[in-house]
Chain A
Amino acid sequence: MSTLDIILQQLANGLILGSFYALVALGYTMVYGIIKLLNFAHGDLYMVGGFVGFLILSAISGLLGESWAAIVCSMVLSMLAVGLLGVIIQRVAYRPMLQAPRLSILITALAVSMILSNGVMAITDGEYLAFNTDLSFDGLDFGNVFISYTQLALVVSASLLMVILYLFVNKTLYGKAMRAIAIDQDACKLMGINVNRIIAMTFFIGSSLAAAAGVMAGVYYGSLHFSMGFVIGLKAFTAAVIGGIGSIPGAMLGGLVLGLLEAFGTQIPFVGSEWKDVFSFGLLILLLILKPTGILGKTEIERM
């Protein structure tokens, strides 16, 4: 393979990885933007999304087979289910804690994350689940660079979801309410916005995006495991921070940047793929030290 081929191939790999990261990072950033909570359970919602998608796919495969139609159908249903789960979590665990000290709510989020991952572990006995689909292995062949239709479809659907989200947040009244709450919750209450409902909605959207990414990852990698949410949660957080936490375009950009960095990072000589995670966590730490506001983040002014 020529250097150009390697660059193109890694570009493709990076974009796919990046769109997963971006979808998960969006949920992080939206929740953080609106209630300043670092939702540790978010990565686990991605994992639960994958499993729910798998369950639905096996349930409807009798009707639709394991074709694209079935996958899209199970993805949408999984998004709804996990979105609802996100709302329930918010209602049960986070809402009572909003006035509590920061440490308590972070520990609460950690506990929720552990309940989800260990719950799935108990159900699946810690085994890997094979996510079978009968998608073809065809694709676009550019000489040495190969991009399968599955990969293409994943990137397209991820982008589609992000465009819809962008329009929702920027063009609808609900989106406007979300942005307003991120700025000043108390003023929003005075303006007659149902703050709790908008927060619940944010959790719904964020969780369903994570679920979409989970189903996509299941299709792409062909297997599911209860621990898959942990690392992606960290990576997505990194992506959100790279882009500037709280900023929606920032999360998308951050996801892509991180995906590309990781894809090209594996090409650095003498650095094997086992160091991939060290690379991205190191990047996160460095970034938080040097520019905690990220690429698109606004500088926060602390008022006393």
Chain B
Amino acid sequence: MSPSADTSVVTDGINWLQHQRNRMIVLMVMAAVAMVIPLVANNYMLEVLTNAWFYTILCLGLNIVVGYAGLLDLGYAAFFAVGAYTTGILTSQFGINFWLTIPAAVLCSMLAGIIIGGPTLRLRSDYLAIVTLGFGEIVRIIARNLEITGGASGLIGIDRPSFFGIELSQGIHFYYVFLLLAIFACFVSYRLQNSRLGRAWQYVREDEDAAEAMGINRVGVKLYAYVIGAMFGGVAGSFFAVKMTAISPETFTFAQSVLILLGVVLGGMGKIPGVIVGAFALVLFPEIFRGLGSMRMLIFAIVMLIIMLYRPEGIWPRKQS
């Protein structure tokens, strides 16, 4: 096949995807595949895919901050940690039902978002990157040194939740839980993207001064992005805690924040399918290349650099209007 024929197939494909109806078909097929896969997958595949959906939620959350609002957040793992620890502490030490801890986790992560974002979002974007980095470290160090968070060894023996009498304990349960959460996250992201707020984010991202001149409350709009992103992290953290039944401060390192950021950057900042592709690449790549071991992060970093230099919009970028 000649290269030109190849391109025309791609162009045809893209044109075909332009239609809303065709897009819905693709989406439906993909959702159906995602629903059916656990019936044929073995435990290992199930675990990996669950993890991929989990990272999809985190990446979509960070995407709101980085992709939509254009703010660099290097401490996203902190929100994930706040959610996980809120649920962990409330269920294991106060015996509160898991489902009741979710609102608490959302509230706490939102609060963390406001505390850190409120005063710092006025600053230049590169200062924000450093502040979020520092904040991420602070949260981790606090978790490591407090008694209520179990210190360096973390919290263990977090109860598995039950859902209408069924205890969520098997891999397949959590696969569906995270799949549903990821679909929900996609839906929320999609609705936000096309909302008034989404357009304001885009405006602020492209030209902050012009946006402000147009009457957009620059700091307020950024704070929304920050807090909503934090909520995604908090919810994901909550479910993470009950899935793992144990959490430790070493899960929430700077490397974790960078990994989530990489997922967003890899696929294409600000575009939902891109972010999903990025999250899956993030999880599947090390599984496929298991032999690499400690070189994994090095290769990720090189990939990230190459993407930034040659394809700064990511693998599947957002359409420019």
29 contacts between A and B (CB under 8 A): A36-B126, A38-B130, A93-B305, A93-B309, A101-B70, A106-B72, A107-B261, A107-B265, A108-B305, A111-B304, A112-B305, A114-B297, A114-B304, A118-B298, A118-B301, A125-B294, A234-B133, A237-B130, A281-B134, A284-B130, A284-B134, A285-B120, A285-B134, A285-B135, A288-B120, A289-B120, A292-B123, A292-B127, A302-B209
Q: Which residue from A97, A237, A241, A289 sits with its C-beta under 8 Å from B309?
A: A97
What 6 A-B pairs have minimum CB-CB distances, sorted nearest first?
A: A114-B301, A281-B134, A118-B298, A111-B305, A111-B304, A289-B119
Q: Which residue from A36, A108, A118, A275 sits with its C-beta under 8 Å from B308?
A: A108
How distant is A262 from chain B, measured CB to nearest CB, in Å? 14
Interface of A is mostly: helix
* CB within 8 Å of B: which A241-293 residues: 241, 274-275, 277-278, 281-282, 284-285, 288-289, 292
Q: Which residue from A96, A100, A275 sits with its C-beta under 8 Å from B141?
A: A275
B258 to chain A: which residues have CB within 8 Å? 110, 114
Judged by a CB distance under 8 angstroms, whether A189 is at the interface is no
Complex alpha-carbon distance, A278 and B137, angstroms: 8
Nearest residue (CB) in A for B125 is A102
Complex alpha-carbon distance, A4 and B205, angstroms: 54
* CB within 8 Å of B: which A59-109 residues: 93, 96-97, 100-104, 106-108
Tell whether, in the assembled complex, residue A106 and residue B129 are in contact, meaning their CB atoms are under 8 Å apart. Answer: yes
B135 to chain A: which residues have CB within 8 Å? 281, 285
Tell whether, in the assembled complex, residue B298 and residue A122 are in contact, meaning their CB atoms are under 8 Å apart. Answer: yes
Complex alpha-carbon distance, A158 and B2, angstroms: 64
Tell whether, in the assembled complex, residue B123 and residue A38 are in contact, meaning their CB atoms are under 8 Å apart. Answer: no
Judged by a CB distance under 8 angstroms, whether A7 is at the interface is no
* CB within 8 Å of B: which A104-142 residues: 104, 106-108, 110-112, 114-115, 118-119, 121-122, 125-126
Tell whether, in the assembled complex, residue B304 and residue A285 are in contact, meaning their CB atoms are under 8 Å apart. Answer: no
Tell whether, in the assembled complex, residue A282 and residue B138 are in contact, meaning their CB atoms are under 8 Å apart. Answer: yes
Nearest residue (CB) in B for A304 is B209
A119 to chain B: which residues have CB within 8 Å? 298
Judged by a CB distance under 8 angstroms, whether A230 is at the interface is yes
Interface centre among A107, A234, A282, A302 (most CB of B within 10 A): A107
B123 to chain A: which residues have CB within 8 Å? 288, 292
With known contacts A118-B298, A234-B130, A108–B145 Cβ distance under 8 A: no
Q: Mark B120-161, 1 if CB is under 8 A from A, else 0.
A: 100101110111011101100110110000000000000000
Complex alpha-carbon distance, A277 and B74, angstroms: 17
* Residues of A near any B CB (own CB < 8 A): 36, 38, 93, 96-97, 100-104, 106-108, 110-112, 114-115, 118-119, 121-122, 125-126, 230, 234, 237-238, 241, 274-275, 277-278, 281-282, 284-285, 288-289, 292, 302, 304
* CB within 8 Å of A: which B158-216 residues: 209
A110 to chain B: which residues have CB within 8 Å? 74, 258, 261, 304
Other A-B contacts than A107-B265, A119-B298, 16 sampled, CB-CB below 8 A, are A100-B312, A101-B70, A102-B125, A104-B312, A107-B72, A111-B302, A111-B305, A115-B298, A118-B298, A121-B297, A125-B294, A234-B133, A241-B130, A274-B141, A274-B144, A277-B141
Nearest residue (CB) in B for A302 is B209
Complex alpha-carbon distance, A132 and B203, angstroms: 56
Nearest residue (CB) in A for B292 is A122
Nearest residue (CB) in A for B116 is A285
Tell whether, in the assembled complex, residue B254 and residue A230 are in contact, meaning their CB atoms are under 8 Å apart. Answer: yes
Tell whether, in the assembled complex, residue A278 and residue B142 are in contact, meaning their CB atoms are under 8 Å apart. Answer: yes
Nearest residue (CB) in B for A281 is B134
Tell whether, in the assembled complex, residue A122 and residue B137 are in contact, meaning their CB atoms are under 8 Å apart. Answer: no
How distant is A117 from chain B, measured CB to nearest CB, in Å? 9
B305 to chain A: which residues have CB within 8 Å? 93, 108, 111-112, 115
Judged by a CB distance under 8 angstroms, whether B14 is at the interface is no
Tell whether, in the assembled complex, residue B119 and residue A103 are in contact, meaning their CB atoms are under 8 Å apart. Answer: no
Judged by a CB distance under 8 angstroms, whether B5 is at the interface is no
A125 to chain B: which residues have CB within 8 Å? 294
B119 to chain A: which residues have CB within 8 Å? 285, 289
Q: Which residue from B126, B261, B295 sits with its C-beta under 8 Å from A122?
A: B295
